Amino acid sequence: MQETGFAACLTVALRTLAQLSGTWNLPPPYRCAPTVGHVTTPAKHARHRLQIDAALVDFVEQELAPAVELDADTLWQGLADLVTEFGPRNAELLAERVRLQQSFDAWVAQRSPAQLLDVAAQVDFLTSIGYLVAEPTELAIETEGCDPEIGEMAGPQLVVPATNARYALNAANARWGSLYDALYGTDALGSAPPNGPYNQARGDRVIQYVRDLLDRYVPLADGSHSDARHYVVKDAQLQVELGDGTLTGIADSRQFIGYSGRALAPDTVVLRHHGLLIEICFDPTSAVGAGDPAGIRDVNVEAAITAIVDLEDSVATVDAADKVAAYRNWLGLLEGDLTAPVPGRGVRRLESDRVIHAPDGSEVVLPGRAVLLVRNVGLHMYTDSVLDQDGAPIPEGILDAFVTITASRVDLQAGAGLRNSRAGAVYVVKPKLHGPAEVRHAVAILAAAERIAGLPTGTVKIGIMDEERRTSGNLAACIDAAADRVAFINTGFLDRTGDEIRTWMKAGPVLGKEAMRAAPWMLAYEDRNVDLGIAANFPGRAQIGKGMWAAPDRMADMLDRKSGHPNAGASCAWVPSPTAATLHALHYHDVDVKQRQRELAAAGIRTRREQVLMPPLAADLDEDLVQQELDNAAQGILGYVVRWVMQGIGCSKVPDINDIGLMEDRATLRISSQLVANWRLHGVLTDAQIDEAFQRMSFIVDEQNSDDPLYVPIAGSMNAPAIIAALRLVREGADEPGGYTERVLTEVRRQVKTHG
């Protein structure tokens, strides 16, 4: 049948793009068919069997090598050796992914819908093909040398794109947050802040709320912080004068950590609860302090104790120039000299550490910044920023490991200024790993890069993101594969669900996104991640993480709901902003994570891995629900893709279909595109329905971006790159390895950068 209207225009646009685009170079079976024409290839320089983009050569030779005091030629030799040693294995592991998926597809095709529900039969089959491996009989990590923020403390964690210097600085500086600002400036107390000047009634409510928190977290021996008139340090003790003139102190004197200023008139008093610091700030001459009986101007809390600087899902790095910009920011963070202009507010830079007096008057240094981890890309991504001796792009994860670990040497050098890791560690988070063999491969690369950088063995720790189905099914073996280096595991609903859909793509229609959140396999997955982490001796050595709260403007909802993460036994969970980190920190005061982990340890492992493998197939799908899910997916895909391909923004607050701002990255795109691709494959949705939804949503996306002066409208333009990319993600999603979105996004973004 001949295509007409929207579909016909789309087909022409897709063909036009294919004729213009260059090849996305991946090893078989990830390689796409060559296309006609090529993007402009940047100049390359020969270095030790490699051809390297000029921008990367300049960065390594003029910035990185001098900063780390290593010879550039030695570094290039090291990179060439990494590529030679690990490049072939990388391709083998990707081929194994495809073999396993094709074997599973063939098994699915031979079974009835009822037979697909037989998890025991599935386990037998997956074991027979090597998808599942034997679980270790003993499981205990041996990681040593982690910072307290990684091994011992529990608190919020930020994830920030490495390409945005200002955001990266904000994340690093989010170690401390103002409760007064966070409560006054958000809806945390149930209503949005009023417009206009300071609202005294709201301010009084915030102050009373914080006083109530102090009574819960650091109670006085007698009376209430609300009745305090003076805080003084005398005889190495904190004394508090109440309104009636009586003196009291902290009920547990061990909570008093120190003070700044004069003992009898301190500028700050620092207290500790559940391992996190609370800072009461005094200034009776300030606007707030002048009206406070005790002269308190603010109360700060330790907020984001760790932050992940991301080179993966939250960035749009499609060429050497993009990668160098990200690498330069990472190096600047470690050198301590990264700056970024803030319109109307000067220049942002890293905060210094805080120096206070201990109760006995001796000096104590408190960390002023979050401990930074860096997230490299997954095995499936390749970059032509560097070509191997055969002229083929190299695994991008090898380049990431080489640069980020070498740059980390700056932080460990004698005389380093603003230290990131006081323990002398480097933390590399590795995403999208499929099973223990890939974990071992990643560990080997990190260890080799560690040697190239001249770092002591064991310096580099790995964070394993439990976001792929084969990792979930083999999590114990994955942990065991990195037992002497693992410092972090976490769960992620979006990526994990995206891979679940891709795994079952050929079996039948899957559950919708909301139903998937409550599916038995998802609940087991979330519990098992924590249980195995605790069983593997993570408490005291490594982090157990949970996923993102995506709505930065809905802090009241976050306060109500995100306590579930520490209650689940997680020692960290992701938040979308420094303000959210400040408020989420309260959950770690409400929940004693160490005690909670002891309770869970006593209960034992609550789940079996068979529960994680339960099919997410839908027995029936309501027509209205399908349309609602389609509209949500189409709007979300377009809203994210248009910024990615047109402006190179990999993470931002994207309004959903109800105009609720959500922090989105490629994980959101993966689940949405995979869901629509699955329903399209099985006839739940037709191409006409999908085309109509994307066409309709393009007008909504234009309206939602109308205030952005850089935005290029897409509605009514069927050859708009964003619409082309969005529909390709859906139409090609059923056959895309892993259901990943990077290939399509990169192709279209590079065309936009080249041709406009």
pLDDT tens sequence across 245-291: 999 999 999 999 999 999 999 999 999 999 999 999 999 999 999 99
**352-358 average pLDDT score:** 97
Nearest Cα residue to 448 out of 487, 476, 485, 410:
485
Query: In angstroms, rounded to a whole number, what is the distance separating the alpha carbons of residues 74 and 631?
Result: 53
Measured over the CA atoms of residue 204, residue 205, residue 208 and residue 210, the dihedral's sign is negative
Query: In angstroms, rounded to a whole number, what is the distance separating the alpha carbons of residues 748 and 21?
Result: 8
What are 573's strand-pairing partners? 156, 546
Is the model's pLDDT at 33 over the cut of 90?
A: no
Instruction: Select which of 97, 348, 354, 375 is catalytic.
Output: 375
**547-556 average pLDDT score:** 96
Work out the end-to-end distance of the chain between its first and last CA atoms, rounded to an integer number of angstroms: 34
Residue ranges of E strands in 162-251: 176-178, 228-234, 237-242, 247-249
pLDDT tens sequence across 364-394: 999 999 999 999 999 999 999 999 999 999 9
Query: In angstroms, rounded to a whole number, what is the distance separating the alpha carbons of residues 553 and 555?
Result: 6
Backbone φ and ψ for 508, nearest 5 degrees, come out as 150, 180
DSSP-derived secondary structure for 434-448 = -SHHHHHHHHHHHHH
- CATH number, span 148-167+311-612: 3.20.20.360
What the block records as the tokens of 530 is 């924590």
Backbone φ and ψ for 638, nearest 5 degrees, come out as -65, -45
Whole-number pLDDT of residue 719: 85
What the block records as the tokens of 299 is 């109360």
Is the model's pLDDT at 476 over the cut of 50?
A: yes
Nearest Cα residue to 654 out of 746, 547, 550:
550
Whole-number pLDDT of residue 5: 40
DSSP code, position 310:
E
Provide CB contacts within 8 A for 534, sequence distance 6+.
544, 569, 597, 600, 601
Is the model's pLDDT at 749 over the cut of 80?
A: yes
**602-622 average pLDDT score:** 95
**210-236 average pLDDT score:** 97
- Third-level CATH fold of 1-38+620-756: Malate Synthase G; Chain: A; Domain 4 (1.20.1220)
Give me the percent of the chain exceeding a pLDDT of 70. 94
**672-695 average pLDDT score:** 97
Is the model's pLDDT at 122 over the cut of 70?
A: yes
Query: In angstroms, rounded to a whole number, what is the distance separating the alpha carbons of residues 731 and 726?
Result: 9
**623-644 average pLDDT score:** 96
Q: Where are the domains of the chain?
A: 1-38+620-756, 148-167+311-612, 179-302
Query: In angstroms, rounded to a whole number, what is the distance separating the alpha carbons of residues 22 and 39?
Result: 5
Query: In angstroms, rounded to a whole number, what is the distance separating the alpha carbons of residues 214 and 208?
Result: 10
375 is catalytic: yes
pLDDT tens sequence across 724-735: 999 999 999 999
Instruction: Select which of 665, 731, 743, 750 is catalytic.
Output: 665
Largest CA distance in the chain: 90
**742-754 average pLDDT score:** 96
Look at the chain and count its residues. Answer: 756
Query: In angstroms, rounded to a whole number, what is the distance separating the alpha carbons of residues 594 and 570?
Result: 9
DSSP code, position 174:
G
Whole-number pLDDT of residue 35: 30
Distances (CA, A) of 613 to 125, 568, 733: 12, 21, 22
What the block records as the tokens of 744 is 């399509």
Mean pLDDT taken over the chain: 93
Number of H helices, E strands in the chain: 28, 26
What the block records as the tokens of 641 is 């893709």
Give the count of beta carbons closer than 10 Å to the beta carbon of residue 704: 21
DSSP code, position 512:
P
Is the model's pLDDT at 645 over the cut of 90?
A: yes
**485-501 average pLDDT score:** 97
- Third-level CATH fold of 179-302: Malate synthase G - maily-beta sub-domain (2.170.170)
Query: In angstroms, rounded to a whole number, what is the distance separating the alpha carbons of residues 293 and 258?
Result: 22
Query: In angstroms, rounded to a whole number, what is the distance separating the alpha carbons of residues 171 and 566?
Result: 21
Confidence of residue 10 (pLDDT cuts 50, 70, 90): very low
Backbone φ and ψ for 46, nearest 5 degrees, come out as -80, 130
Is the model's pLDDT at 27 over the cut of 50?
A: no
Backbone φ and ψ for 504, nearest 5 degrees, come out as -95, 15
